């Protein structure tokens, strides 16, 4: 535990020194959804489910893509390029601890920012969550998923600068799962898009908050949300397990020679 604490503390310190990553990790996930909530609360109809749903989706997208995925991709690529990962493996830390250490700040900030945004929604007159457990699963499960995707992407990312290019496929995949895009796609394509990581996160988040995957539609009660959440939860779990299996065989601990 002391080893894990030391690694986590070091990662928090390094994150605090990198102003660009810190800005992307904290400010970006908060600014846009809060602006959407403020604009929605001042409209004639007040803050409705659709407006809150849009703000929460933007929040989840920025949170998981910028705070978790891109931040961790940069960290893993930099640590490997500087031979930090290689040196850590010669010590008492296990591989699991070495890989989990850089993820701790993102997971802690995910919880903190989720609480902040949830409080802002309620303060501005939005609905309270129908099932807080599903909201937590959406955000924490999504963080685990995108952390695993960061590990996969880091396998072919030479350094932090290259991450700007290698991250584009995952960012595009995340954008493809937005509910706005799924709403205009044909049903056959939309069903495929529902199997993407961000689609699973969004569906779980909406179910947890509104009791439906489409804010504004008829909602279900607390107990029924667990049944409705089965499919997106399985999609999320499949992505996490598949990503972890790929990481176990393809993650690179040293720079390419």
Q: Which has the closest alpha carbon to 110: 70, 57, 68? A: 68
Q: Which has the closest alpha carbon to 150: 62, 65, 61? A: 65
pLDDT band at 142 (very low <50, low <70, confident <90, very high): very high
118 located within any domain: yes
Q: What is the mean pLDDT of residues 33-52?
A: 79
Decide which of 24 and 81 is more confident. 81
Query: Which residue range(s) make up the domain with 175?
Result: 2-250
pLDDT, one tens digit per residue, over 149-162 is 999 999 888 888 88
The mean predicted confidence, pLDDT, of the chain is 88
pLDDT of residue 151: 93
Whole-angstrom Cα distance, residue 62 to residue 25?
Answer: 8
Contact in structure between 250 and 242 (CB atoms under 8 Å): no
100 located within any domain: yes
Contact in structure between 8 and 101 (CB atoms under 8 Å): yes
Tell me the percentage of the chain whose pLDDT exceeds 90.
Answer: 42
Q: Is 46 left (phi over 0), alpha (psi -120 to 50) or beta?
A: left
257 located within any domain: no
pLDDT band at 166 (very low <50, low <70, confident <90, very high): very high
Q: What is the mean pLDDT of residues 29-40?
A: 86
175 located within any domain: yes
Residues 6+ apart with CB under 8 A from 165: none
256 located within any domain: no
> With 70 as the cut, is the pLDDT of residue 45 above it?
no
pLDDT of residue 3: 73
> With 70 as the cut, is the pLDDT of residue 208 above it?
yes
Whole-angstrom Cα distance, residue 133 to residue 112?
Answer: 16
pLDDT of residue 257: 60
Mean pLDDT lowest for which of 42-56, 98-112, 192-206? Answer: 42-56
Residues 6+ apart with CB under 8 A from 118: 129, 135
Whole-angstrom Cα distance, residue 181 to residue 187?
Answer: 12
Count up the domains in the chain and report the number.
1
238 located within any domain: yes
For the chain, counts of helices (H) and of strands (E): 16, 0
B/e letters for 198-208, b = 16+ CB within 10 Å, e = fewer, are bbbbbbbbbbb
pLDDT of residue 9: 84
255 located within any domain: no
Paired tokens of 180: 């706005």
Contact in structure between 194 and 233 (CB atoms under 8 Å): no
pLDDT of residue 14: 80
47 located within any domain: yes
């Amino acid at each position: 535990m002391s080893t894990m604490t030391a690694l986590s503390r070091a990662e928090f310190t390094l994150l605090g020194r990198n102003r660009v990553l810190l800005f992307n990790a904290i400010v970006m996930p908060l600014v846009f959804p809060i602006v959407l909530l403020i604009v929605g609360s001042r409209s004639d109809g007040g803050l409705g489910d659709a407006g809150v749903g849009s703000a929460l989706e933007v929040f989840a997208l920025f949170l998981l893509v910028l705070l978790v995925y891109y931040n961790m991709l940069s960290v893993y690529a930099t640590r490997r390029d500087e031979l930090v990962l290689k040196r850590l493996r010669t010590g008492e830390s296990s591989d699991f601890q070495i890989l989990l250490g850089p993820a701790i700040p993102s997971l802690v900030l995910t919880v903190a920012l989720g609480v902040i945004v949830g409080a802002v929604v309620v303060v501005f007159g939005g609905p309270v969550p129908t099932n807080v457990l599903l909201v937590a699963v959406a955000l924490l499960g999504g963080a685990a998923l995108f952390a695993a995707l960061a590990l996969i992407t880091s396998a072919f990312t030479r350094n932090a600068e290259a991450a700007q290019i290698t991250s584009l496929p995952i960012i595009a995949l995340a954008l493809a799962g937005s509910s706005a895009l799924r709403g205009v796609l044909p049903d056959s394509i939309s069903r495929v898009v529902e199997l993407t990581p961000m689609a699973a996160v969004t569906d779980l988040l909406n179910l947890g908050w509104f009791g439906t995957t489409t804010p504004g539609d008829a909602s279900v009660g607390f107990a029924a949300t667990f049944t409705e959440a089965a499919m997106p939860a399985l999609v999320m779990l499949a992505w996490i397990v598949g990503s972890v299996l790929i990481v176990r065989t393809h993650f690179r601990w040293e720079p390419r020679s």
